[in-house]
């Protein structure tokens, strides 16, 4: 099979997975866990566990020393990973082993600076070779994304942009026109973290994003931590994104093995939520 054909298959996997969830009358469950947390091997086992528990898609976080979107829970995990010496090569290994073991789409969520320093062509080529489905780039402005998108498209990688309640309609249209895979709708202004209630702004943001005419699924993140909240968001979004709750479950566990079981159980609970069985 040619490289182009493999890229095409990989680029289609994320879209197909989200479409399958929709055909089943439910939202997709998208889980986030940072690479290298608690260790590289432990992080890979945790990702396998959340997929085994019911996650459809996984975002692998590339730990960063200045995570502007991430709250204290994910910052703590990133600090552990960085102190452990995690490198981009470990992120690629995490993507490769998680995808090979499960067949599910695995994305990388990263700030722009590490990619810029590593080299866009090198990063996209290695991510594609590892079987990655694409990237979520929360701090890359659409108007500065042409170089990234050129290389991502060459390698069949999705480019997921983040929209926020503060995004004006004109801005939403620009973002949805440039992105691929899905649109990440941040449900509130602020950083990641678990919250007692889902922001009332989330549904409005989803509706405004869809009103741009985009055919991309709109998935909601920031604040979802339990099955009840997942079911609420699943009522209006194509995907429910959960990160801090998974990381907190691992941080609170007495040991790494217990952490893996905790995230497996949480994924199972959230999977019931997105299916309306919470």
**Catalytic positions:** 59, 70
Check: CB of residue 95 under 8 Å from CB of residue 47. no
> What are the tokens at 244?
């801090």
Angle formed at CA 56 by CA 253 and CA 62, multiple of 5 degrees: 60
Nearest-angstrom CA–CA distance, 164 and 87: 30
Beta bridge partners of 31: 58, 242
| 69-73, Cβ contacts within 8 angstroms, sequence gap of 24 or more | 69/138, 69/139, 69/162, 69/186, 69/191, 69/192, 70/191, 70/192, 71/190, 71/191, 71/192, 71/193, 71/244, 72/193, 73/192, 73/193, 73/194, 73/244, 73/247, 73/248, 73/251
Contacts by 21-24 with C-beta closer than 8 Å and gap 24+?
21/56, 21/238, 21/239, 21/274, 22/217, 22/238, 24/275
The tokens for 109 are 């969520």
Interhelix angle 40-53/88-102, nearest 10 degrees: 30
Q: What is the DSSP letter of 26?
A: S
| Tokens matching residue 174 | 């620009």
Q: Residue 19: count other Cβ atoms within 10 Å of its Cβ.
A: 14
> Rounded CA gap, 106 and 240, in Å?
15
Q: What does the DSSP 8-state code read for residue 27?
A: P
């Amino acid at each position: 099979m040619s490289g182009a054909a493999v890229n095409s298959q990989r680029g289609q996997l994320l879209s197909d997975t989200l479409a399958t969830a929709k055909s089943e009358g439910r939202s997709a469950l998208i889980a986030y866990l940072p690479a290298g947390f608690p260790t590289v091997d432990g992080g890979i086992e945790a990702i396998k566990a959340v997929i085994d528990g019911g996650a459809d898609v996984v975002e692998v976080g590339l730990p960063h020393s200045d995570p502007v979107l991430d709250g204290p829970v994910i910052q703590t995990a990133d600090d552990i990973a960085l102190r452990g010496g995690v490198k981009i090569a470990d992120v690629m290994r995490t993507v490769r082993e998680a995808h090979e073991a499960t067949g599910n789409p695995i994305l990388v969520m990263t700030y722009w600076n590490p990619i810029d320093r590593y080299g866009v062509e090198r990063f996209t080529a290695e991510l594609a070779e590892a079987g990655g489905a694409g990237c979520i780039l929360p701090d890359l402005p659409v108007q500065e994304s042409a170089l990234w998108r050129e290389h991502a498209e060459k390698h069949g990688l999705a480019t997921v942009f983040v929209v926020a309640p503060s995004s004006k309609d004109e801005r939403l249209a620009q973002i949805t026109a440039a992105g691929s895979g899905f649109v990440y709708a941040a449900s509130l202004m602020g950083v990641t973290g678990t919250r007692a209630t889902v922001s009332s702004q989330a549904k409005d943001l989803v509706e405004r994003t869809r009103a741009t005419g985009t055919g991309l699924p709109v998935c909601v993140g920031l604040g979802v931590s339990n099955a009840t909240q997942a079911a609420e968001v699943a009522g209006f979004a194509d995907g429910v994104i959960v990160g801090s709750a998974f990381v907190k479950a691992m941080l609170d566990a007495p040991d790494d093995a217990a952490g893996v079981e905790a995230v497996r159980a949480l994924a199972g609970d959230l999977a019931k939520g997105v299916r309306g069985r919470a």
